[in-house]
Structure 1
Amino acid sequence: MNLFLYLSVVIIWGTTWIAIYAQQAAGGSAVTVAVFWRFLLAAGVMLVALRLFKRLQSLTLRDHLFCLLQGCCVFGFNFVCFYHAAAWISSGLESVIFSMAVLYNALNSWIFFRQRPSARLFPAALLGIGGIVALFWHDLRDTQASAELLWGIGLSALGTLGFSFGNMISNRHQRVKRDVLTTNSYGMLYGALVMAALSLVQGESLQPTWNVQWLGALSYLAIFGSVIGFAAYFTLVGRIGSSQAAYCTLLFPLVALALSTRYEGYVWHASAILGLVMILLGNLVMFARWPTIRRRAIA
């Protein structure tokens, strides 16, 4: 079951980045409006399905407040960061930065749940940070594009931090025996409502963009990326822990970069290949199970 959940997340989330790019390229609605419709549709589908199958769990006021916080972290503001970053860097590169969630989760688990990270964290972090610098080195040398590039990198890193905070809240839900599908549903609903309020404050219309590309991307992001993807991921968090579940972010950047190369014209340079290898090695150092060498007793 864990393998099925793991592969589902890798395949689905490896392809959602190109859908975000496609929706942004379609133009029209503001980013906050796009995020609003994505999670409103996802929440509606999940709440109706849970109600029909009598799986919707009742929550306390405290639980709902945590769902609101989860919605802001992982179903709202983090995606505002990702959607804006897509204007400055390729979707494949966004996914690579997102793979650093494994390190964020290790640190946040230590801070919030006193789960001390292993001694591997420091070398893994050095490899990861060095890998990001190498990955973007070719673009960083171009001074004309460096400001926008740094904005794209920074927003992707900030969005990944929000995702990690959402992982910690999901950990809290499951520690107090709250159903992951129920808490996800309310989290998505509250995230959508916050995005709607933000859009209206900014003077944006909540009307969606009525073209095939925008609506097609929305449908894929809402149903596959949100309903199925987040359900699989947070179920995995409950089964194996947030740090180990985030390990799946190692593989889907490969899917996302392959799609980015095909559809966005991403060009591979030697430094980019080196950077990707360093990031993957950093995560491998952090989470791989290395065989222990047993010393033979001397007779």
Structure 2
Amino acid sequence: MSAVDLRRFLACVLIWGTTWLAITFQLGSVAPEASVAWRFGLASLLCAGICRWQGLALRLAPAVHLRLAGFGASMFGLGYLCVYYAEGHVASGLVALGYSALPLTNMLASRIAVGTPLNRRVGIGGLVGLVGVGCVFWPELTRLQPGRDVFLGALLTAGGVIASAVGNVFSTRLATDGLHVWQKMAWGMAYGALCCLIAARLGGQSLGFAASTAYVLSWLYLAVFGSVFAFYFYLELLDSVGGGRAGYVGVMTPVVALVLSGLFEHFRWTPIGLIGLGTAVAGNFFILRRENPIPDGMKDPA
């Protein structure tokens, strides 16, 4: 991985690692459909403004819009709705643990959709990282009691992971259409917001907005940093290194979130948790370390 891609990777991890805490200020008084719609609605407008500033076209062919709709509905719509609702049934640690499977899910989705060769190193590193994050969250998971909430939470988490992987496939396909990342984000987030508005209408949910300081500040942070900046870096990373390596952001993000939980939510580290942290970092280095030089004309499958 190049130095530029490494900076993109670290930016995604650090920003998204803080959004887990910011999302807690969005829950409760406003329906998840509305919160996700307001977040990506604002982010879409900001991305569209950047497109205008950079001279990037916003009028695109109908076939491209179909792929953009699939991209937005899966990555920014269904994926985030699953996250919000999953955290209403189980602890956030279980949701984060589920998303640590994203590198493997991305790799399998790319294999199924476009026949991308499987990468042994990404697979091994992803499994190592998954084991590490599982160790970090093990004390929390052992406190869960089997029941309806656990089943629904696990099902929603799995749905979110799969939706994100599908969105990554659409994103890769859109890159071959020649779309710039800002174009993909402007329209993808707009379609994601529209998906959430439709879901709210069909589910009879109110489209309210909380005027409290905590809600407004978390909304602005999630829209500007958690959506515009982080997704720009992520999609650039996705186009550059492929879904397997880019998806490892989902393994390291929970580690940052746990550090913040220790500072602000009294999360207690255990010996097995510290071992798990080291294991996750080791898996991260295994995936991201630079390989031997590759002859011109050949590309390492991701």
TM-score (norm 1): 0.84
Partner Cα separation in structure 1 for residue 263 and residue 89 of structure 2: 18
> In terms of Rg, which structure is larger?
1
Structure 1 residues 92 and 263 mapped into 2: Cα distance closer, same or farther (>3 Å)? Answer: farther
Aligned to 1:8: 11
4+ long deviations beyond 6 Å: none
Give 5+ residue unaligned stretches, structure 2.
294-302
1:281 shift after superposition: 4.3
Aligned to 1:103: 104
Aligned to 1:56: 57
The root-mean-square deviation of aligned C-alpha atoms, in Å, is 2.7
Partner Cα separation in structure 2 for residue 94 and residue 266 of structure 1: 16
1:212 shift after superposition: 1.1
TM-score (norm 2): 0.84
The correspondence of residues 1-299 of structure 1 with structure 2, limited to 5 A, is 1-24=4-27, 27-91=28-92, 94-120=95-121, 123-124=124-125, 127=128, 130-131=131-132, 133-142=134-143, 144=145, 148-149=149-150, 151-286=152-287, 288-289=289-290
Identical counterparts, % of pairs: 31
Partner Cα separation in structure 1 for residue 41 and residue 139 of structure 2: 39
Partner Cα separation in structure 1 for residue 99 and residue 71 of structure 2: 18
Q: Could you tell me which amino acid in structure 2 is paired with residue 22 of structure 1?
A: F
Q: Could you tell me which amino acid in structure 1 is paired with residue 215 of structure 2?
A: W
Give 5+ residue unaligned stretches, structure 1.
293-299
Moved more, 68-77 or 202-211: 202-211
Aligned to 2:296: none
Alpha carbons 1:73, 1:163 under 8 Å: kept: yes
Aligned to 2:299: none
Alpha carbons 1:15, 1:259 under 8 Å: kept: yes
Structure 1 residues 273 and 161 mapped into 2: Cα distance closer, same or farther (>3 Å)? Answer: farther
Number of matched pairs:
290
Structure 1 residues 128 and 221 mapped into 2: Cα distance closer, same or farther (>3 Å)? Answer: same
- Deviations, residues 90-136 of structure 1 (Å, cap 9, x unaligned): 54654443232111112222222222213346655654554465444
